[in-house]
């Protein structure tokens, strides 16, 4: 057979395949994104549920969804993309400190369009309650236009500051938290400069990342992210009895739900399923040799034949090769 020089090769031809004149596999990334958009439209009439791809782009190591999950690492957050991962409404009424209102203060002042933290005392903060919903993920923006010393951290008021939310120096900061209480609280970071602080805060914003994201904040109970060695399919490994990655819904989904999943055996679509206010996307099943947990979709209604075809076609992309008893 004739080997084409690369400069003359037609589109789709790959010399690396060592199979002259045979086309390389055509990427279906465009069709894949089109299918995801079509799946999001299944929820266009306010249907409840979610779609959680087993795609590394939507999997995170920590429950706040800030550290991308790594191959053979743990998964603490799996984003629901059914709402398009858009941000919700602004939750802070007086984030620009135009007046000394709304916030509850301790050891701080609000004047001249900023909140000022100046003290070496023990209780230096501003807060407001009944703002957040525990178990939801929020994107936080904070500006520190002036900083002479110390640092700021986001807290839940009740237990401890949210890890990895410390801010020091001047600048605009973006943070993400998994809310554990209803409180919005900004406090002096006692771990910076011995707690001595002198800085201003402005432009505070809290917005929810919309969706019923699946969360696990206890590392011992997180599944692992795996990838098949040949077909390069990402999947979650529920390899111990305590594993759970749980999506929480605002209300029970009822008894008419459709649940579609990808497993090692292929795509399954179960109808007339009952789902309460929570659903574990990565259950442990002792009878399964390999706990292959791929894409999952839950919607609180029946799907039409065309919709099932869409989901099946899209989900088949996550089905692995199986050869000689091994998942490849």
Q: Which residues bind other proteins (CB under 8 A)?
A: 61-64, 70, 72-74, 76, 153, 160-163, 178, 180, 189-191, 216-222, 224, 239-242
Q: Which two tokens stand for residue 57?
A: 């782009």
Is 184 in contact with 43 (CB distance < 8 Å)? no
- Taking the chain, what is the end-to-end CA distance rounded to the nearest angstrom? 31
Instruction: Kindly report the length of the chain.
Output: 328
**CA dist., res. 187 & res. 150, Å (int):** 11
* 165, HSE (Cβ side, Cα atoms, 13 Å): 27
User: Which CB, 50 or 151, lies closer to other proteins?
Assistant: 151
Decide: residue 289, CB within 10 A, 0-12 exposed, 13-18 middle, 19+ buried: exposed
CB of 308 to other proteins, least distance (A): 37
**CA dist., res. 7 & res. 143, Å (int):** 53
User: Which CB, 81 or 177, lies closer to other proteins?
Assistant: 177
CB of 67 to other proteins, least distance (A): 9
CB of 138 to other proteins, least distance (A): 14
CB of 160 to other proteins, least distance (A): 5
User: Which CB, 62 or 295, lies closer to other proteins?
Assistant: 62
Given the structure tokens 């659903």, which residue do they identify? 279
- Report how far apart, in Å, the C-alpha atoms of 89 and of each of 132, 214, 281 are: 12, 21, 28
Beta bridge partners of 254: 275
User: Which CB, 237 or 295, lies closer to other proteins?
Assistant: 237
CB of 162 to other proteins, least distance (A): 8
CB of 213 to other proteins, least distance (A): 14
Beta bridge partners of 105: 126
User: Which CB, 73 or 266, lies closer to other proteins?
Assistant: 73
**CA dist., res. 138 & res. 130, Å (int):** 14
Beta bridge partners of 215: 77, 246
CB of 250 to other proteins, least distance (A): 22
User: Which CB, 64 or 298, lies closer to other proteins?
Assistant: 64
**CA dist., res. 157 & res. 58, Å (int):** 29
User: Which CB, 187 or 300, lies closer to other proteins?
Assistant: 187
């Amino acid at each position: 057979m004739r080997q084409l020089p690369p400069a003359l090769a037609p589109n789709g031809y790959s010399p690396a395949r060592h199979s002259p004149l045979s086309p390389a596999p055509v990427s279906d990334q465009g069709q894949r994104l089109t299918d995801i958009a079509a799946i999001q439209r299944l929820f266009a009439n306010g249907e409840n549920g979610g779609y959680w791809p087993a795609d590394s782009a939507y999997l995170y190591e920590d429950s706040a969804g800030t550290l991308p999950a790594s191959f053979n690492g743990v998964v603490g957050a799996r984003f629901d993309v059914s709402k398009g991962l858009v941000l919700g409404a602004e939750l802070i009424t007086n984030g620009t400190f135009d007046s000394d209102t709304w916030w509850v203060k301790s050891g701080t002042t609000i004047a001249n369009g900023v909140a000022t933290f100046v003290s070496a005392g023990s209780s230096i903060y501003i807060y407001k309650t009944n703002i957040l919903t525990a178990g939801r993920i929020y994107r936080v923006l904070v500006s520190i236009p002036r900083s002479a010393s110390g640092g700021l951290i986001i807290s839940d008021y009740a237990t401890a500051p949210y890890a990895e939310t410390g801010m020091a120096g001047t600048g605009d900061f973006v943070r993400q938290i998994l809310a554990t209480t209803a409180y919005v609280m900004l406090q002096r970071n006692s771990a910076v400069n011995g707690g001595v602080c002198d800085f201003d805060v402005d432009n505070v914003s809290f917005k929810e990342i919309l969706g019923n994201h699946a969360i696990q904040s206890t590392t011992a109970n997180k599944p692992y992210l795996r990838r098949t060695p040949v077909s390069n399919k990402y999947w979650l490994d529920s390899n111990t009895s305590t594993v759970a990655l749980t999506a929480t819904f605002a209300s029970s989904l009822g008894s008419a739900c459709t649940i579609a999943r990808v497993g090692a055996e292929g795509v399954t679509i179960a109808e007339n399923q009952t789902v309460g206010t929570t659903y574990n996307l990565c259950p442990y099943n002792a009878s399964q040799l390999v706990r292959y947990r791929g894409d999952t979709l839950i919607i609180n209604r029946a799907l039409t034949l065309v919709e099932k075809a869409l989901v099946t076609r899209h989900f088949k992309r996550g089905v692995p090769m199986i050869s000689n008893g091994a998942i490849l």
